[in-house]
Amino acid sequence: MAGMTIPIAPAKSAAALPASTWGVWTSAPHRVLFLPGAVQLVAAIALMAVEIGGRSLALWPVPAWTLPPAWAHGYLLVFGLFPWFIFGFAMTAVPNWTGGRIARRAWLATGLPMIAGVALFHAGLFLSPTLAVAGGFLQVAGWLAGTAALARIALPGPSRDVQAVSIVALLAGGAVLAALYLVALARTDADTVERVAAAGVWLFLLPVFLVVSHRLVPFFSSRVLQGYALYRPAFSLPFLAAACLLHFVLEASGAPQWTWLADAPMAAWVGWLAWRWGLARSFRARLLAMLHVALAVLSAALAFHAIASLAALAGHPGLFGRGPMHLLAVGYFAAMTLGMVSRVSLGHSGRALEADGLTWYGFLAVIGVGGVRALADLAPLAGAPRAWLLAAAAAAWIAVTGAWAARFVPIYLAPRPDGRPG
C-alpha cells in the first residue's frame, strides 16, 4: 500500500538552535549537505545542456570554456554531485549505527568548504582553469574534514561497525581520487583524467552505494514486509568489491573486451539480491519500491556492461559507446539517490514516509532519462539523431531533478512540523 510508512530512528542532533533560517538549515547534517546536493543535481547537467545546445544543435553561441567540457562534466558527476548525498546520509546514519555523535561544527566544516569549492569550480569554468582547480581542492578540504569526523566515531572501540568503517575508507579513497583528478586537470593530462574518472565510479561510487544498499534495503524491507527474513550473506560485499576492482583493472589496462568476467557475475548476483530482498513485494510502499527498483536497474546496467564487453571481444568495440556507464550513472546512481535521500529527508523532517506522485514518478523518469542517455551512445546514432537525444536527456534531467529539488529544498529550510530538533 502506497501509504504504508517505514519507521525511522530519531536522529541524534545538536542542541536546539534559534528558529532562524540559518539555525534551521544548520541544525542537522542532512540539511546542510542535501540542500546544495539538490542544487547541484540541476547545475551539474546544465553545463552539458549549454554545451550540447551550442555546439551540437547551434541554438546559441558556444561558451568559451576554460576546461574541456567533458572533463568538467566528469569531475562534477563523479566527485561534485553524489558526495553531497553520501555525506548527508553518512553523517545521519553512522552515528545511529555506532552510538557516536557528530558535532554541528563538524558538518559545517564539511559542508561550507564544499559549497564554496564547487561554486568556485563552476565560476572557474568561465573565468580561469586555475580558479576551477582551486575550487575543487577547497571542496576536497571539506570532504577530508567530513571523512575525519566520521572516522572519529566509526574507528574507535573493539567492536567496529563494518559498514561504517567501509564507508569511511571509501570516502578517504574518493577524496584522494578527486585530488588526482584535479591535478590531472591542472596538467591537462587526458589519460589520467580518464583513468581517475573510471576509478571514481568502480572504486568509490559503486562500492559506497553497494555498502549502503546491503545495510538498508533488507532492513527497510523487514520493517514493512510481514514475515520478512533478513538476507545478508557474508561473502556478498567482498565478492562485489573484488568484481568492481577487477573491472577497473581490466578497463585501465586497455582490455575492455574482458570486463565481462567481472560484469556478468555482478549483474547476476545483484539481480538475485534484488529479487531475494523482496522486489516483487516492495511495491506495497513506494519509498521502499524505489530502492528495490534501483537495484534491478543496477543489475541491468551491469549486464549492459557485460554485453558491451562481449561485443568488443567479438570485434565490435564502441558499438554501445559509453551507454552502459550512463545507464549506471543516471539509471542507478541518480535514481537510488532520489530514493534514499527522499526517505531520509521525509523521515528526519517529521513528515510521513510516503512518496507522493512527484517523488515516485520523478524517480521513474530519472530511470527513463538514463535509458535515453544510453540510447544516444549507440554507434549508428551519430550526428543529428544523437545530438537531439542528448538534448532531450539533458532537458528531461533538468526538468525532473528541478521539480524534485523544488519539492525538497524548502524542507531543509523549514523547522520540523512536530517541533522536534533535527
pLDDT value, residue 266: 98
In a domain, 419, yes or no: no
Mean pLDDT of 65-69: 95
CA distances from 15 to 149, 351, 408 (A): 18, 21, 24
Q: Which CATH number fits the domain that encloses residue 332?
A: 1.20.210.10
- Give the structural domain span for 398: 21-226+234-413
In a domain, 124, yes or no: yes
In a domain, 418, yes or no: no
Integer Cα distance of 96 and 84 in angstroms: 19
pLDDT value, residue 4: 39
Extract the runs of DSSP E, i.e. beta strands, from 204-277.
none
pLDDT band at 18 (very low <50, low <70, confident <90, very high): very low
pLDDT band at 329 (very low <50, low <70, confident <90, very high): very high
pLDDT value, residue 5: 38
pLDDT value, residue 87: 98
Integer Cα distance of 246 and 241 in angstroms: 9
Does residue 370 register a pLDDT over 80?
Answer: yes
SS3 content of the chain, % helix, strand, coil (to 5): 75, 0, 25
Residue 335 · residue 294 · CB < 8 Å = yes
Average per-residue pLDDT for the chain: 93
In a domain, 315, yes or no: yes
Q: Between 12 and 65, name the one with better pLDDT.
A: 65
Q: What is the pLDDT of residues 224-283, one digit of tens each?
A: 999 999 999 999 999 999 999 999 999 999 999 999 999 999 999 999 999 999 999 999
pLDDT value, residue 230: 93
pLDDT value, residue 9: 42
Q: What is the pLDDT of residues 288-311, one digit of tens each?
A: 999 999 999 999 999 999 999 999
pLDDT value, residue 419: 78
Does residue 135 register a pLDDT over 90?
Answer: yes
Three-state DSSP at 158 gives: coil
Mean pLDDT of 145-170: 92
Residue 239 · residue 269 · CB < 8 Å = yes
pLDDT value, residue 61: 93
Mean pLDDT of 211-235: 94
Mean pLDDT of 323-332: 97
Q: What is the pLDDT of residues 175-210, one digit of tens each?
A: 999 999 999 999 999 999 999 999 999 999 999 999
Residue 48 · residue 70 · CB < 8 Å = no
Residue 381 · residue 389 · CB < 8 Å = yes
Residue 124 · residue 149 · CB < 8 Å = no
pLDDT above 70: percentage of residues in the chain: 95
Domain count, the chain: 1
Mean pLDDT of 45-49: 92
**Which range has the worst mean pLDDT, 124-138, 343-357, 401-415?**
343-357
CA distances from 310 to 149, 173, 232, 315, 349 (A): 43, 30, 31, 9, 47
In a domain, 12, yes or no: no
Residue 345 · residue 411 · CB < 8 Å = yes
Q: In residues, how long is the chain? A: 422
Helix axes 104-127, 29-51, angle to 10 degrees: 10
Mean pLDDT of 86-98: 95
Q: Between 69 and 18, name the one with better pLDDT.
A: 69
Cell numbers given for 297? 536497474
pLDDT band at 19 (very low <50, low <70, confident <90, very high): low
Does residue 8 register a pLDDT over 50?
Answer: no
Nearest to 240 by CA among 215, 261, 210: 210
In a domain, 15, yes or no: no
pLDDT value, residue 11: 41
In a domain, 10, yes or no: no
Cell numbers given for 242? 573484488
Please classify residue 108 by burial: count the beta carbons closer than 10 Å to its beta carbon, then call 0-12 exposed, 13-18 middle and 19+ buried: middle
* Phi, psi of 343, rounded to the nearest 5 degrees: -65, -45
Residue 397 · residue 330 · CB < 8 Å = yes
Q: Between 84 and 4, name the one with better pLDDT.
A: 84
Does residue 27 register a pLDDT over 90?
Answer: yes
In a domain, 370, yes or no: yes
Does residue 55 register a pLDDT over 80?
Answer: yes
